[in-house]
Structure 1
Amino acid sequence: MDLDVVAWVHVSRDRLLAVRSRGRDLLYLPGGKREPGEDDWSALSREVREELALELDPGSFRELGVIRAAAHDQPAFAQVRMACFTAGYAGDMSAAGEIDEYRYVGRAERSLLAPAAQAALDLATTHGLLSP
């Protein structure tokens, strides 16, 4: 069974934004599961607002791609299907809700990322958002 989620891919200074949820050992991308009836934009903008206190810009919202990877720390799910999006934002970033930490991760730190976040790092590189 797949865990179906949306994720925000944000790169600054050749580093990928990642978050650590409370009680988790690895970093994930900002985002999460859709609520019933939510489309991708609604789910992602809500999740980013809840996790990082930011407002995503709907005019710059773009799909980057969909990745599949082993589900980390999710015993009921074998795989994660993660739809990845880019978007500009407004506000001052801060860890909120269930997020304990946010940080920017470079390619050399990929081992800090959960498998799906590692795949998203590769996707961002393929699209030229990160240096190879």
Structure 2
Amino acid sequence: MRPADIKIVVALIINDADEMLLVRKRGSAFFMQPGGKLDAGESDLDALCRELREEVNLTIDPSRFSSQGVYRDWAANEPGKLVEAMAFSCFGSFKVSPAAEIEEVRWVPLEEEPAAIQRAALSKNHLFPLARRLLRSSAVAG
């Protein structure tokens, strides 16, 4: 298996209306989950919490996140590069606003196919299906 060119952490944040938070970076057409690359010496959760503060002005206690595994696909904004993402989920309603390189934030219903927006391959092929499974399992458990 080819090694990943880019390693990141991403947050699947699902609100009380069963919508997932997506962001679009300035200059990009693709929506994706918030997150990003780790700085030297950072843990996955430290990096995720930092990225959420920087990108969407959101502070979440790291203990609220559940690890959902590692997913790989082609990078949206770096053609020909393979991205590997450690995914974490968190349920709850939060106020967010775009910051840093983020131009737009959007809450997207999980039970509808968001045809009106372009999603990164990782989001479309792996993270949306994962979030839908998480939503269904939380409904069964709740």
TM-score by length of 1: 0.86
Q: Which runs of 5+ in 2 are unaligned?
A: none
Alignment of 1:51-70 (within 5 A): 51-70=55-74
1:109 partnered with 2:114: yes
**What secondary structure does 2:113 align onto?**
helix
Aligned AA (1:112): Q
1:121 partnered with 2:110: no
**How many percent identity over aligned positions?**
32
Q: How many residues are paired up?
A: 130
Change (3 A) 1:76 1:17: same
Q: Which residue of 1 aligns with 2:90?
A: 87
Q: Which runs of 5+ in 1 are unaligned?
A: none
Aligned AA (2:85): M
Offset at residue 75 of structure 1 (A): 3.2
1:74 partnered with 2:81: no
Offset at residue 76 of structure 1 (A): 5.9
Offset at residue 126 of structure 1 (A): 2.2
Alpha-carbon distance in structure 2 between the residues aligned to 1:72 and 1:95: 19
Q: Is the 8 A contact 2:57 2:98 kept in 1?
A: yes
Change (3 A) 1:4 1:60: same
CA RMSD in angstroms, aligned pairs only: 2.3
Aligned AA (2:21): L
Structure exhibiting the larger radius of gyration computed from Cα positions: 2
